[in-house]
């Protein structure tokens, strides 16, 4: 089963908590045991799993990424968004989450974040739910 979550980001750099949307896809699949594979089909965005309880955590991650990869260096890419491409590569564009008893098997403080590095834009996240036999997971 493949579904696509569509979102609209509001800032150049923004982390969007998509945990409830992803859990919704899992719910719709009726798959109780399996793997939820998340794939971001963009070159200037990413996906990560980190603390969702305190919003200052993802703010700090964005601050450090912006310091590590400044917007205004003498990059070769003429489009002016090389920093966004580099951050996409550093963060990555896919994640897998185990599904147990119909629930994403995340830790207490974990949330799934879509990472915008060149917004605002319309973005997509592909979600593939793979069923596992009950006894193997
Ligand atoms: Zn570019």
- Model pLDDT for residues 40-65, shown as the tens digit of each residue: 999 999 999 999 999 999 999 999 99
Distance between Cα 12 and ligand 1 center (Å): 13
Token look-up 């890419």 returns 77
Predicted TM-score (pTM) of this structure: 0.95
Distance of CA 18 from the midpoint of ligand 1 (Å): 25
Q: What is the mean pLDDT of the chain?
A: 96
Q: Which residues surround ligand 1, an ion (CB under 5 A)?
A: 79, 81
Architecture of domain 2-131: Sandwich (2.60)
Digit-coded pLDDT (tens) for 62-76 = 999 999 999 999 999
Distance CA 114, CA 16 (A): 5
Question: In this model, does residue 86 exceed pLDDT 70?
Answer: yes
Residue 72 Cα to ligand 1 midpoint, Å, equals: 14
- DSSP structure string for 37-63: EEE---SSEEEEEEE-S-HHHHHHHHH
pLDDT above 80 for 135: no
Please provide residue 68's backbone torsions phi and psi, each rounded to the nearest 5 degrees: -65, -40
Q: What pLDDT score does 1 carry?
A: 81
Delimit the domains of the chain by residue range.
Answer: 2-131
């Amino acid at each position: 089963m493949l579904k696509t979550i569509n979102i609209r980001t509001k800032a150049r750099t923004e982390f969007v908590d998509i945990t409830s949307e992803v859990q919704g896809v899992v719910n719709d699949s009726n798959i109780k045991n399996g793997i939820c594979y998340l794939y971001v089909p963009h070159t200037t965005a990413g996906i990560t799993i980190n603390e969702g309880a305190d919003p200052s955590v993802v703010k700090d991650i964005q601050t450090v990424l912006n310091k590590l990869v400044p917007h205004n260096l003498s990059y070769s890419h003429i489009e002016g968004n090389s920093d966004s491409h580099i951050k996409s590569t550093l963060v990555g564009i896919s994640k897998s989450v185990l599904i147990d008893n119909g629930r994403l098997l995340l830790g207490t403080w974990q949330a799934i974040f879509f990472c915008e590095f060149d917004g605002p834009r319309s973005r997509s996240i592909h979600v593939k739910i793979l069923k596992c036999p009950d006894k193997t997971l």
